[in-house]
Structure 1
């Protein structure tokens, strides 16, 4: 049971997450386990992050996006972060080594990636460019997604 020892969730939620993983090939069943974990502890960041990754990899980007946005809202509230980017960016830059801020940046970058997958290219460019300016060590997917979205189509002719 030590597979999820770092998760700060109850044993029954850990068990549901393990069952979801063990039944990965059976999407219907694994999704039921993820949803049960969300019902039991749907405000827990570990559960939410695992869930949005699950739904992303199961090619359910709309659900993944909804959950990633919830992660952002929870961190915004708990860290008392401003909503406006101009006010938010300096805080994220200053505090980027804090675990909650890294989670925020990763969830925000994931939101950009999911929006790109959904074909919402302009929104995806905006988000990934924002994260790219902060994430100098390329710890999130933002820089790569931004580069792909802004790649000049003439470069393909090389």
Structure 2
């Protein structure tokens, strides 16, 4: 399921997003640990150690959170990825001057319809990751609420939340 929801194009977009956010106040030593984590991805303990060092050097920095989220997500450590997704939503809310509770965010609160605007997109992708992980972890109603919020604030569905909605609609139906 992750392959359908997080396509190579979204991977490129996430990488560009992370790179753009990397330049905004990230200490060079933290950036070094992020790169080392990516180079040692196949060595779980080593990669996670580098990520933890980056967190220690730049706690709450968007680029560090994105790196940590991706590590946990692709290692199928979904509960940990969910915790980081919550931190990403919080950080994105702060960066966009949005309400701290994503449920209170409205379409006019940020330029959600402008895909090229990095900070609103960071919020959208964070909420999409949160929705997906909630669904995977059996919290389908919470996932549904997050998907509905995504479609409310991004009605043109630039990030592909309808895919999650279709998954929710098919749950419980027999495979054809």
TM-score (norm 2): 0.75
Alignment root-mean-square deviation, CA? 2.3
3-state secondary structure, aligned to 2:105? helix
**C-alpha deviation, 1:16, in angstroms:** 0.7
Give the 5 Å matches for 1:86-125. Answer: 87-92=104-109, 95-96=111-112, 97=114, 98-125=117-144
2:79 to 62, 73, 76: 62
Cα deviation, 1:61-97, whole Å, max 9, x if unaligned, reads 1221111111221232343322373x522334x5212
3-state secondary structure, aligned to 1:145? helix
Q: Distance in 2 between matches of 1:104 and 1:144?
A: 18
Structure 1 unpaired stretches of 5+: none
Kept in 2, the 8 Å contact 1:68–1:108? The answer is yes
**Quick check: which one's helix share is greater?**
1
3-state secondary structure, aligned to 1:103? helix
Q: Which consecutive segments of 4 or more residues in structure 1 shift more than 6 A?
A: none
Change (3 A) 1:131 1:124: same
Kept in 2, the 8 Å contact 1:131–1:143? The answer is no
TM-score (norm 1): 0.82
Structure 2 unpaired stretches of 5+: 1-17
Q: Which structure carries more relative contact order (alpha carbon 8 Å, separation 6+)?
A: 2
Q: Distance in 1 between matches of 2:129 and 2:144?
A: 12
